[in-house]
Structures are given as structure tokens and as C-alpha cells.
Structure 1
Amino acid sequence: MNLLPKNDWLDGEDLMGRLMNTFWDDRKMSVDIRDLDDHYEVKADLPGFEKSEISVRYNNEILSIDAEHTSEHEVKDDGRFVRRERSSSAFHRQFVVKSIDEERINAKFENGVLTLKLPKTDYEEKKGKAISID
């Protein structure tokens, strides 16, 4: 009964692993970070969220973006049947972003996109020091 060639994607475990990886990829918050001359620009896609459902923190050189959304939908049919559906979405992303002037961080949320401007501090790359080993 070996009439068809075996395809890698037909392996039970491999197929399930690929499906689950694709599922979780779809459930991640998409984030773009651009390194511009005087600041970093962060854009996070959060469609369906309200501004009040989003939290942004910068602490110890770690930028954290959290978003949590819960909705309920109730449908009644002739008074006897009630269907209540709930959905919940939560996202959390963290990034290490060094040398930021945290007092000047700017955030705006427009059309489902969170945009952050993280101004750089005056950072001078030092050459470091060679350390001799005794």
C-alpha cells in the first residue's frame, strides 16, 4: 500500500507541531522596531483593542507592552434560548532597549496601531579597556 510518496508534512507529530506553531504565530502581537538617528520607533499592531486596554512600561532598560481585551456577546431567541459567548485576548511583549531618555518617551494609539517614540540619550560608544591576565 505504498503507492504515494511519503511527504514530510504528513508525519503526525510534525504536522501537529507545524499547525500549533502557525496557530501561536497568528496569536502574537506584531511589532516593528526601527533604529533612527536620534530615537527608536516601535509600532505594535493591536486591532480590536481600545487605548484603555493597553499598558506600556519602560523599566531597567526593558520596554513592556501589554494588551488585554475581553468581550461578551449575548443572543436571545424567543425568550427560551440564551447563548452567551465570551472572548478574551491578551498579549505581552518585552524588548531590551538601552540608552533611552525615559522622560521623553512618547506614545500614541491610532487605528489599531500603537506607536512609541523612544528618544536616545547622548550615548558615546567607548572602546573599552584591554585587561591583562596574570
Structure 2
Amino acid sequence: MTLKAALTQALTVIKYGDDLEGPFDWVHDLRYRVRTPDDPNYTRRSPDGTTITRVNAMTGPETKSFAETITFGGTVQPDTVRIEDRQTTPYGEDVTFSVRDNAGVRHTGTATTLYPIWSATEPGLVTALVYAP
């Protein structure tokens, strides 16, 4: 599952300082909801609190800040991702999802994922990951 892989990779970034290559689209725009001024493109956020960034343009500190934001400070449990609604196209999916954190709080959001292009056994690519405010 693409979202599970993306959140797992983000937790790895926080813990080991890795990068986000793999489950996140490396080239195209990525929409997400910012939380702190350290988040990539925080100053360019829309009135709804979301912004667009590119994973390949993030500095090391921005990558870590982004990872902390989408995992609620590293507390998200990727194994608890639940797809609530799914709209499919030939290229990917728009989903409504929920995920639980270590305190048991369930967070909801929407995501757009593209299907894998190299191998069906690989996760797809996340191009949007927007939690509800």
C-alpha cells in the first residue's frame, strides 16, 4: 500500500536521516498541509493551509520537517492506515484515508497516488497527502 510505504519512509527519515525517494513522487508537485514555519513552502501556503512542494527540492532539514509534519511528530502508526473511500482512474487513485497515532487518535485526510510505473510489486507514488484541519 502506497500510503503505508510513504508514512514508513517518513518515519525512517526522522529516525535515521534518510531521504523520501521511493514512495513520494520525486519530480512532480506534492500537495500537503503545513503545520510549522519550518515546513517546506510554509510561506506559500494557500488559505486552506496546504502548500505545494517538490521532494527533490527539499533540503535535509526541510525533508525532516516535512516527515515530522505528515507523521504528527513521528507518532503515526503506518500499519493502521485505513482507506475509507477510493476513486480510481487508469493512472492512480484519489483516496480518503485515516491513520492512528501512538495516543490512539485517528487522523483523516485525502491522498492522491499514482500507480507504479516500473513494477507492480513496488508502491505507487504519492502526489498529495492532505490531513483534515
TM-score (norm 2): 0.27
Q: Rg: which structure is higher?
A: 1
Q: Which has the higher helix share?
A: 2
| Structure with greater contact order relative to length (CA < 8 Å, sep ≥ 6) | 2
TM-score (norm 1): 0.27
